[in-house]
Amino acid sequence: MQSPASLLSRPSLGRAFWSGTDAAAAPVAALLMTAGLVRFLGPRDYGLLVIALAASGLSMAISPAIAATTTKFVSHASGARDRSGGLAARVLSASLLVLVVISTCLLAVAGALRNPLAHAVFGEAGRVGAGDVLLLAIVSMCVQQVDAVLAAALKGLERFKEQALIEIGSRLLIAILVLAAAWRTHDVRVALLAQCAASLVAVAARATAVRAFMPGARLFARPARPDYAAILDFGGWMWLSAVAGMAYYSVDRIIIGHVLGAVALAQFNIFLQVAQLVHYVPSSVFAFVFPVFSRSSAEGSHGRGEIVRWYRHYLAISTGAALAIATAVVSFRQPLLQLFAGGVVDTGQESALAWLTLAFLLLSCNIIPYYLLLALGRSKQVSLIGTASMLVALALAVVLVPRYGLYGAAFSRLAYGLGSFRLVERAQRALRRLDGERA
C-alpha cells in the first residue's frame, strides 16, 4: 500500500498513465470518426447514425451496471485473496450470462419490430432502410457491451496497462474499418456492419487477456445462487442509475432530432464530444481508484486507513485536471470545432459548447466521491442521487429544447452536475465512518 506522499512513485504514475491512455482512446477515436463520418456520410446521414446509436444505447442501459458490478466483485475477490480464481470467474460468468440473455431478447424484439421502432425513433428524419440501420446499431451495441464487461474484469484485476493497450488497438481497428466503409460506400448500414465486425475482434482479444490474468487462468465457472444474489444486490441499484443515465445521454438527442432536425443533432453531438473531455478524461485517469479502493476495503483496518489517506489527495488532483481541460476547451473552442467538424457547425451556436463544458466541469467534482461510494458498496446512494439529478435534467430538456434550441439542451445538463454534489457529502460521511472503524 502507498500513502499520498508516494503518489508520484512509479507504480502510481503507471496506473495514472495507463488509465489516462485508456481514457483518451474512446473520445479521440470518436472525434476522429466524427470528422470522417460527417464528410463521408454528410450531415443528414451522420445525424441518422447518431439517432440510431442513441436509441440502441438506451435499449442497452443495463450493461454499464453489470460492468461496474463486475469490477467491484473481481477487485474485492483480489483483496480477499481468492487465489483459485473461483469467485472472480463465477462473478464474470454470471455477469456475461445476464448480459447475453438480455441482449438476445432485445435483438429478437428489435428484429420483429424494426420498422415500427424505426418510425418511432427517427420520425420524419427517417428514410427507406431505417429499420436496418436501427437493428444494426443495436447489434453493434450488444457486441460492445460484452466487450465492456470483459474490460471491467481487467480493471478489477488492476491490469490497467493491458486494458489500455487493448482499448487503443480495438478503437483504432473500429475507426479504420468504419471510416473505410463509409468512404467507399457512403452507406450508414455498411459502416455499422464494419463496426460490428471490428467489435467482435475486440471481444476475442479482451477475453484472451482476461483469461491470462485471472487467478487460476479461469475465464468461466458455473455461477452459484449467491453470485447472482450479489449481482442483483449491488447491481440492482446500478441498473436503475444506468437506465436514467442512458435516458439522460440519449433522449435529449432524440428530442433534438425530432424538434430541430438531424443537422442540428449532428452539431449538438459534436459539441458533446468536445465538452465531455472535461469529465471523461479525469474520470478515466482516476478509474483505477475504484478497484483499488474496493480491494483495500476487503483488506481490513489497514486498507481502510489507506482509503482515508488517499481520498482527499485524489479529489484535489482530479478536480484540478478537470478545470484545466475545461479552460482549454473554452479558450480553443473555435479551432477545435473547425478541426473536427469543418464547416458543419454554425458559429452562432458555439457558445452552447461553453455551457456544456461548465456542466461537465460540475460533474467532474464528483468523480472521486462516486468511485469511493461504489467501492464501499453504496450503490443505492449513488443510484438515487444520480437518477434524481438526471431525471430533473431530462425534464428540463423536454421544456427548454423546443423553446431555446441547442442552448436549452445545454442549460438542462447543468442540473445533473449540480444535483450530483450530494455525492461529496455522502462520501464525507463514509470517510468519517471508515476513520472511526480504523480507530
**pLDDT value of position 177:** 92
**pLDDT value of position 12:** 64
**pLDDT value of position 128:** 53
**pLDDT value of position 8:** 45
Residues 330-352: pLDDT tens digits? 888 777 777 766 555 555 567 78
The rounded percent of the chain whose pLDDT value lies above 70 is 87
Mean pLDDT of the chain: 82
69: pLDDT strictly greater than 70: yes
- pLDDT mean over 202-221: 87
Listed range (77-81, 379-383, 431-435) with the worst mean pLDDT = 77-81
Specify whether the CB–CB gap between 393 and 416 falls below 8 A.
Answer: yes
Q: Categorize the per-residue pLDDT at 437 as very low, low, confident or very high, splitting at 50, 70 and 90.
A: low
Residues 245-304: pLDDT tens digits? 777 777 777 788 778 777 777 788 888 888 888 998 888 788 889 998 888 887 767 777
**pLDDT value of position 91:** 83
SS3 of the chain: the string is CCCHHHCCCHHHHHHHHHHHHHHHHHHHHHHHHHHHHHHHHHHHHHHHHHHHHHHHHHHCCCHHHHHHHHHHHHHHHHHCCCCCCHHHHHHHHHHHHHHHHHHHHHHHHHHHCHHHHHHHHHHHHCCCCHHHHHHHHHHHHHHHHHHHHHHHHHHHCCCHHHHHHHHHHHHHHHHHHHHHHHHHHCCHHHHHHHHHHHHHHHHHHHHHHHHHHCHHHCCCCCCCHHHHHHHHHHHHHHHHHHHHHHHHHHHHHHHHHHHCCHHHHHHHHHHHHHHCHHHHHHHHHCCCHHHHHHHHHCCHHHHHHHHHHHHHHHHHHHHHHHHHHHHHHHHCHHHHHHHHHCCCCCHHHCHHHHHHHHHHHHHHCCHHHHHHHHHCCCHHHHHHHHHHHHHHHHHHHHHHHHHHCHHHHHHHCHHHHHHCCHHHHHHHHHHHHHHHHHC
Task: Give domain limits for the chain.
Answer: 4-438
**pLDDT value of position 1:** 43
Amino acid at position 65, single letter: A
pTM here is 0.75
**pLDDT value of position 7:** 46
Q: Categorize the per-residue pLDDT at 408 as very low, low, confident or very high, splitting at 50, 70 and 90.
A: confident
230: pLDDT strictly greater than 80: no
329: pLDDT strictly greater than 80: yes
**pLDDT value of position 29:** 83
**pLDDT value of position 266:** 77
Residues 110-164: pLDDT tens digits? 888 777 777 776 665 555 567 788 888 888 888 988 998 999 999 988 898 899 9
**pLDDT value of position 426:** 93
The larger pLDDT score, comparing residue 6 to residue 33, is at 33
Q: Categorize the per-residue pLDDT at 5 as very low, low, confident or very high, splitting at 50, 70 and 90.
A: very low
216: pLDDT strictly greater than 80: no
The position carrying cell 480464481 is 85
Nearest to 49 by CA among 187, 200, 146: 187
CA 61 to chain centre: 11
172: pLDDT strictly greater than 50: yes
103: pLDDT strictly greater than 70: yes
